[in-house]
Structure 1
């Protein structure tokens, strides 16, 4: 269980005189912070680092700047002691929990005794002052803290900003305090048992590969893993820009610093040794790669070799911990010319990394057991006749509602773009053009690649659109929700979604460049949605979708398309045939191998004396097994 009252991070402390001149400094690259309480019930932060004498600072009359929690940074100002504490490189989840505990304990706990009582206690006692770690946050303390969010208090952590000035108005709420109490930089829903096991494996320092069918929460878990690791030494990457945006990272190509990787190894090492890329490679301790199925095997081998050479370390990936996530039954790497596709698991580099493998089995995207069984069969390329018939029957379903038409999933991006353009032009009325506000206008192309939101968006009344950001999960305004533009209100589109009407005001997207610079794009969170490409739909949950799978050209493409649907009732498949579903043979063999490894690991500790070879020999996969998840978690 996570300890709410401790934090590991880099710490800088500065003491100044009343005139603001710095008198003393302390800097620790690696420090341990602990919330403690003395006999008088006063709360302190204790800072320890190596053999240094612990520093104790009382939490009284403080203010906290928490705007950059998602980057593992915060600062605490101790007003009475004229002291500033700067925190950096903290695991974002741990930092958020720590600051939230400070807030709750200072506003929701029992008040300390009066100063008279404290002095009397000190005078009558011969014992030296003692400290103890504070107790875990209780429900009562949480309720009290929540009630006090709407009240001004000098112990409320809040940044010195315009928001704080606004919060001083009568009846106003301290905005940053509310953010600290209620919002986390990463998803804060509880993890299930499978997800916890993967998280623990990642935090133990092992190289990890975790997989699972579509909708099992892989990206959700990956965000939690990223939030649990120190940001300064963690590189969160993905095979595509859109996937990287989902986890708040960068593309693997940006990280590697070798472009498309087409240069020979020697030249690629030279590119990776340039100042910017060299610093990134040398600094990295944890490399995360999402959508690993779409990373070309040859490219994976090349960056593994580059890591060893640039870091001058012959361990796999130069000693960097590897955390890989993806489902090889989904989209494969893009084929280059006539060169056959090579998956990462087919390389020597993959074998050298000795990855601990896990599979998430619990599906969160769909609740329909019948649909989940169909998707599991489609995933492995086996579709029984009764399931094929059930999918074919969806062609007669009427899934339109409130003027919202079904989004057509296309196998090719150009086809989807052509449909959207033609449909928009066919609508009467004048187009309204929405242009994004980008923090770095010269990097428009990079922002286009790394975010799903377009730089320029053209809309008309009647345009079919898709929401591209989670606005309100409880009311169904989520990433992938479908709607239709009903009107424009003060230059902003008013959209009728399946659940409710929504005024689509501009939202902000933030992504990082390879050098760590934060890029932002502010835009109306919509995209034309008469049609969408299967490749661009990865990670989305669509509540009104239509598809024709006659033009699928890759193994797993039909599965990716079908698994975007929320349920069978919100899906329409035109002209479905069982021949449109198939899985890559090499992928099937790989997952069988993983299943055998997990089976052997599970059987031997239970007391069987057969060695691994005997277990493998006696184990025969069958059709029933292949209809179940193919990797077993121990």
Structure 2
């Protein structure tokens, strides 16, 4: 199929299972699974909607009349299309999420429009069928959704809703005695109502979004066609997307706020879910993109003990080995924090388990990050660290390198200029003066202080973060509530899962219900969500199953470390960076904010600004190559 058809949303790549159903009982009579196929929505010479399924081994042409769409699992690249006129159903899987969203929206709108037209033209259609012989049906690709199409479908749904409301009003004569027998609320709502209602100022979910929050619903009437929350790409972002589509391994980079994370979501939505692994170098970054840590996927622990030992670890775990063999696209976010030794190790593991001499065993890499931000974290007793771009595997694997230059997070050009200089390790006197002038920005008496936003405090060391959070917790006048973890083993999980505490102490910031329950977190905008326990897993040497800790995924967040803030955008923050110890650390802290007015820097020291010379040379070479 043409690229135009895919772009218009009328075609989607997928794995399809075609099930023929018994017309009377609805049971499955015959089933056939088709891999590597393309599903295209078309219209025949009579104006009827058709679904054409094309693959190397099989093809089918099905009527889409009266199609019923089941889209509950669309975020996993799956859906079911019930085809009543064919007594069949299509089970789609491994669809690129964005393409699937566009296809389902197009199918729904066109089917609704077709139903309206058929209803109006039914008498004329019957007359034509009696007078004209059947002609061969020639299919053409469907036209894009127009504003008129959307208006017609919305009007049709409004009319149906009004008719349903009138019918319900006319039959609302149920005796009062019978109404009392029905439950007042659903069981889930009842449980939520009796939970402890807590507002926790200064708290935020440990991964950004609590596990009880679901992804966005697929609105089949949204326009223009795109997955929820998407925005138009810039030319340089579109160039990255094209490079990924070409199948080569890609590294794209850019300063903070250039839309790297937004673009990564588009890339992930474009790739087939069953063959794509989405990972990041840190747990926080992995949560933000809905993936897993690179170490967790690789199955090599922390990478210590040499390459041969890492290969042995991965090969000894069947699930890990199978994941490597199934993977076709490996996405790695925050690549700057992956060191060269580990990157080389992954290359050898991939080539060994996949039995291929190609770089990474033929897996396409999509690497995202900024090497002028935080470098790899190495143990204090480890030898000198090297960046991933210094590895031999990088030179063999990465075929395309692209840069994003347009900054979206900050609109103030003076602030953007300051950040650019800090990023390259330069701080002129005028920049120091600008930063010193922000010291009292977020004081309560300041005109720049937003009383509804508590400034997040960014610190360079964990001890500073812990001290601030505990101090703020003690200031709350309410009673403490302790949430104790439930572990699958009696002892030892504190060392295996150091980031998940055995006991979390929270305090109530609003009234509490009468019974025990989980905390309710109030987010910006006023909406609230109950946050219950989440499972955290860790592997133990020699054990087949992972050990599990169940704990509330919340952490105190009056203060967070600069390392954990990488990738975030903060409404207001107060910085304590005079003890910065890493290249790029000051830049990461400063670039979390949108403007100088939402920023306060305590005890500014320009000597803390620095960039690694090897990284500066790397970006200098990129500029020379790009002209």
Q: TM-score w.r.t. structure 2 length?
A: 0.79
CA offset at residue 43 of structure 1? 1.1
CA offset at residue 217 of structure 1? 1.0
- Please name the residue that 1:343 is paired with: 387
Structure possessing the higher relative contact order (Cα contacts under 8 Å, 6 or more residues apart): 2
Instruction: Return closer, same or farther for 1:541/1:354 CA change in 2, 3 Å cut-off.
Output: closer
- Match for residue 335 of structure 2 among 289, 292, 297: 292
- Match for residue 25 of structure 2 among 16, 19, 23: 19
CA offset at residue 534 of structure 1? 0.6
- Please name the residue that 1:191 is paired with: 233
- Match for residue 572 of structure 1 among 600, 615, 619: 600
- Please name the residue that 2:94 is paired with: 89
- Verify: 1:140 aligned to 2:148, yes or no: yes
CA offset at residue 411 of structure 1? 0.7
- Please name the residue that 2:417 is paired with: 373
- Please name the residue that 1:561 is paired with: 589
Alignment of 1:512-551 (within 5 A): 527-551=555-579
RMSD, aligned CA:
3.7
Q: Deviations over 1:496-523 (max 9, x none)?
A: 88x75454544999999999x9x99996
* Distance in 2 (alpha carbons) for counterparts of 1:439 and 1:583: 44
Q: Does the CA contact (< 8 Å) of 1:402 and 1:496 recur in 2?
A: no
- Please name the residue that 1:256 is paired with: 298
Instruction: Return closer, same or farther for 1:177/1:230 CA change in 2, 3 Å cut-off.
Output: closer
- Please name the residue that 2:278 is paired with: 236
Q: Tell me, which stretches of 5 or more residues in structure 1 are unaligned?
A: 154-165, 167-174, 462-484, 600-634
CA offset at residue 80 of structure 1? 4.2
- Match for residue 266 of structure 1 among 292, 298, 308: 308
Q: Does the CA contact (< 8 Å) of 1:486 and 1:495 recur in 2?
A: no
Q: Deviations over 1:392-445 (max 9, x none)?
A: 111132354326543221111232123212221232121245689999999999
- Please name the residue that 1:389 is paired with: 433
CA offset at residue 264 of structure 1? 2.5
- Verify: 1:64 aligned to 2:41, yes or no: no
Q: Tell me, which stretches of 5 or more residues in structure 2 are unaligned?
A: 162-185, 187-214
- Residue aligned with 2:37, SS: strand
Q: Deviations over 1:525-550 (max 9, x none)?
A: x6533211111111221112111211
CA offset at residue 203 of structure 1? 0.8
Q: Does the CA contact (< 8 Å) of 1:293 and 1:333 recur in 2?
A: yes
* Distance in 1 (alpha carbons) for counterparts of 2:31 and 2:252: 44
- Please name the residue that 2:195 is paired with: none
* Distance in 1 (alpha carbons) for counterparts of 2:100 and 2:341: 38
- Residue aligned with 1:551, SS: coil
* Distance in 2 (alpha carbons) for counterparts of 1:103 and 1:585: 55
Instruction: Return closer, same or farther for 1:47/1:201 CA change in 2, 3 Å cut-off.
Output: same
- Please name the residue that 2:615 is paired with: 587
Instruction: Return closer, same or farther for 1:439/1:568 CA change in 2, 3 Å cut-off.
Output: farther
Q: Deviations over 1:214-240 (max 9, x none)?
A: 111111111110110111111111101
Instruction: Return closer, same or farther for 1:106/1:510 CA change in 2, 3 Å cut-off.
Output: farther
- Residue aligned with 2:600, SS: strand
- Residue aligned with 1:396, SS: coil
* Distance in 2 (alpha carbons) for counterparts of 1:221 and 1:440: 41
- Residue aligned with 2:439, SS: helix
Instruction: Return closer, same or farther for 1:197/1:98 CA change in 2, 3 Å cut-off.
Output: same
CA offset at residue 11 of structure 1? 0.6
Instruction: Return closer, same or farther for 1:193/1:366 CA change in 2, 3 Å cut-off.
Output: same
* Distance in 2 (alpha carbons) for counterparts of 1:568 and 1:176: 32
- Please name the residue that 1:620 is paired with: none
* Distance in 2 (alpha carbons) for counterparts of 1:40 and 1:510: 55
* Distance in 2 (alpha carbons) for counterparts of 1:335 and 1:133: 55
Q: Does the CA contact (< 8 Å) of 2:458 and 2:562 recur in 1?
A: yes
Instruction: Return closer, same or farther for 1:116/1:280 CA change in 2, 3 Å cut-off.
Output: same
- Match for residue 117 of structure 2 among 111, 115, 119: 111
Instruction: Return closer, same or farther for 1:495/1:488 CA change in 2, 3 Å cut-off.
Output: farther
- Please name the residue that 2:199 is paired with: none
User: In the comparison of the two structures, how many residue pairs are matched?
Assistant: 549
Q: TM-score w.r.t. structure 1 length?
A: 0.78
Q: Does the CA contact (< 8 Å) of 2:522 and 2:529 recur in 1?
A: no
- Verify: 1:5 aligned to 2:10, yes or no: yes
Instruction: Return closer, same or farther for 1:246/1:403 CA change in 2, 3 Å cut-off.
Output: closer
